[in-house]
Amino acid sequence: MISGKQRSYLKSIANNIDPIFQLGKNGLTENFIKQIDDALETREIIKVNVLKNCDLNPTEVASQLAEELSAEFVQSIGRKFVIYRESIEHKKIELPK
């Protein structure tokens, strides 16, 4: 669980990154979840865009992904959301205490 200060720090980082995944009409597939998992290990923080043709709620999708991948939900704005997970091998982000 991350603190409010850490969440704010992650939001400031997420503000400068572009979405690297788009979730469309196929919804959450095993392959999509695997790709998110790999990206979290490499980048630690990712932004995902939920397309308009997807019937899923972005906040619910983010919460579900965070739970399945042992990640932290950072924020959801409009149809985009950000999740974070500390990397084991590629640690780049140092969270404030």
DSSP state of 90: S
| pLDDT for residue 97 is more than 90 | no
In a domain, 63, yes or no: yes
Give DSSP secondary structure letters for 35-89: HHHHHHHHHSEEEEEE-TT--S-HHHHHHHHHHHTT-EEEEEETTEEEEE---SS
49 close to 82: Cβ distance less than 8 angstroms:
no
* β-bridge mates for residue 23, sequence order: 50
Q: How confident is the model at residue 78 (pLDDT cuts 50, 70, 90)?
A: very high
Q: How confident is the model at residue 62 (pLDDT cuts 50, 70, 90)?
A: very high
Tell me whether strands 21-23 and 45-50 are parallel, antiparallel or unpaired. Answer: parallel
pLDDT at 90: 83
Which domain CATH number covers 16?
3.30.110.60
Instruction: List, for residues 3-57, the tens digit of each pLDDT value.
Output: 999 999 999 999 999 999 999 999 899 999 999 999 999 999 999 999 999 999 9
In a domain, 75, yes or no: yes
